[in-house]
Each structure stands twice: as structure tokens, then as C-alpha cells.
Amino acid sequence: MSVAEERIDRLTELARDAARAGEADLARQYVRRARRIAERNRIALPRRFKRFTCDRCDAYLVPGRNARVRTRDGHVVVTCGCGGHARYPYRRPDSDDAV
Ligand SMILES: [Zn+2]
């Protein structure tokens, strides 16, 4: 794991903890910092990061608190409190690609 990847990992944890503690703005700062590191280093953001952050407002999403998670026609639809949503296809649990 590269230094950049480790920093992104750490920022993801910080963002999650901040979001759970109700510090939404602080969580956003961590999310933005992690995105910037990924861009600069041209590395992909981990799936965990992409699934739990809003592309529209950079919020760290906590289902039940600032995000709604629903399944629909083979997709998971995550709706952020800002109104932005993201859809992810899901597969059977025995698939390698299952989340
Ligand atoms: Zn949002």
C-alpha cells in the first residue's frame, strides 16, 4: 500500500468517525482531502470511500442518518440528504464482486 493510499484510508476513517459524531462539515473536509490526494496521485478511490461519500456535496454518508439506502431492480440506490443519489448494481453474494 502506497503512502497516498494509506492517507486516503486514514482520512476515510476520520470522515466516518466525524460523520457518526454529527460533525458533517468536518467529515466533508476529510472527504475532500482524500479526493484531492487520489487525484494528485492518480489512484482510484477505494470502493468503501466511493460508496459512502456523496459525489454532489462530498458528505460522508451514514445510512439512517444523512443517507437513505434502498434496493431497486438489481441496484442499490443511495440518496444523500442533499438530494444527490448514486446507483450501484449488486450481484449474488457468491459472486467475487459482491460488496
Ligand atoms: Zn450530498
Taking a 5 Å cut-off on Cβ, the residues next to ion ligand 1 are 54, 56-57, 59, 80, 82, 84
pTM: 0.87
Q: Which pLDDT does position 1 carry in this prediction?
A: 86
Domain count, the chain: 1
Considering the domain boundaries, does residue 55 fall inside one?
yes
Q: Indicate whether 98 belongs to any domain.
A: no
- Mark out the alpha helices in 1-99 (DSSP H runs): 3-20, 24-41, 47-51
> Is position 82 annotated in a ligand binding site?
yes
* Residue 88 in grid coordinates: 450501484
Residue 32 counted as domain residue = yes
Q: Is 97 exposed, middle or buried (0-12, 13-18, 19+ CB in 10 A)?
A: exposed
For 19, the domain range is 3-89
Question: Is residue 35 in a domain?
Answer: yes
Q: Is 80 labeled as ligand-binding?
A: yes
Whether 95 is in a domain gets the answer: no
pLDDT tens-place string over residues 46-58: 999 999 999 999 9
Q: What is the pLDDT of residues 12-64, one digit of tens each?
A: 999 999 999 999 999 999 999 999 999 999 999 999 999 999 999 999 999 99
Q: Is residue 52 part of a domain?
A: yes
pLDDT band at 93 (very low <50, low <70, confident <90, very high): low
User: Is the pLDDT reported for residue 97 higher than 80?
Assistant: no
Residue 69 lies in a domain: yes
Burial bucket for residue 58 (CB in 10 Å: 0-12, 13-18, 19+)? buried
